[in-house]
């Protein structure tokens, strides 16, 4: 199975290094020296990582055969793709690869069907499940423990406990404002 693990950014310096936007939770495993990565577009690769280092919070890579800024800049926006065994599991117990979550049924604790996960959106603050409902509409569900209470890969389902308003328009509105008549002695304006 092929997974996108990074996107090449701009050239860094004059010796062929590039910045990369990491798209994997395991960069040390997927983006280490000696790793051979496929590319999208395919004509740019495959690329073998020669060196890697962190500079000012960004990962910098140098690929074999890429020796100057011009060659590095030609790789800008290329996607780096790793070949991964589909049965491989992440190191942490509560972590999942995107391909394991795509097509899971999303249900409430009582078994009510909500839809099917069609995409995982990785945002800076959290990940989102993009869920297609039976009527064809899409729903976004934050992938956080308070909402996604269980991932069952054997049963191919994700159990959720959504807060009011997340999956329907019937949100509970709680107001601290007193809508009753004004107490005597208070001014009212019309």
Residue 107, H or E segment:
strand 105-108
Chain-centroid distance of CA 92 in Å reads 16
CB count within 10 Å of CB 136 equals 7
Interval 104-138: pLDDT, tens: 999 998 989 999 999 888 777 788 999 999 999 99
- Both tokens of residue 89? 């599991």
- The angle subtended at Cα 30 by Cα 25 and Cα 32, nearest 5°, is 120
**From 55-59, 70-74, 129-133, 141-145, the region with the lowest mean pLDDT:** 55-59
Contact 156, 104 (CB under 8 A): yes
- Indicate whether this model's pTM tops 0.75: no
The DSSP secondary-structure symbol of 17 reads: E
157-160 and 105-108 strand pairing: parallel
Residue 28, H or E segment:
helix 27-30
Interval 23-49: pLDDT, tens: 877 788 888 899 999 999 999 889 999
DSSP notation for 40-83: ESGGG--EEEEEEEEETTEEEEEETT--SHHHHHTTTTPEEEEE
């Amino acid at each position: 199975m092929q997974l996108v693990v990074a996107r090449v950014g701009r050239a860094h310096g004059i010796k062929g290094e590039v910045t990369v936007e990491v798209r994997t939770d395991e960069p040390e495993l997927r983006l280490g020296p000696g790793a051979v990565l496929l590319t999208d577009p395919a004509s740019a690769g495959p690329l073998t990582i020669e060196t890697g280092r962190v500079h000012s919070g960004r990962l910098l890579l140098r690929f074999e055969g890429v020796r100057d800024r011009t060659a590095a800049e030609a790789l800008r926006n290329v996607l780096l793709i790793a070949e991964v065994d589909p049965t491989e599991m992440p190191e942490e117990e509560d972590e999942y690869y995107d391909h394991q979550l795509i097509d899971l049924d999303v249900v409430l604790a009582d078994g009510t069907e909500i839809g099917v996960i069609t995409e995982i959106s990785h945002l800076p603050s959290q990940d989102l499940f993009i869920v297609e409902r039976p009527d064809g509409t899409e729903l976004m569900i934050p992938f956080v423990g308070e909402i996604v209470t269980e991932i069952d890969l054997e049963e191919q389902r994700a159990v959720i406990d959504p807060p009011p308003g997340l999956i329907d328009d019937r949100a509970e509105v709680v107001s601290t404002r007193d809508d009753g008549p004004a107490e005597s002695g208070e001014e009212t304006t019309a």
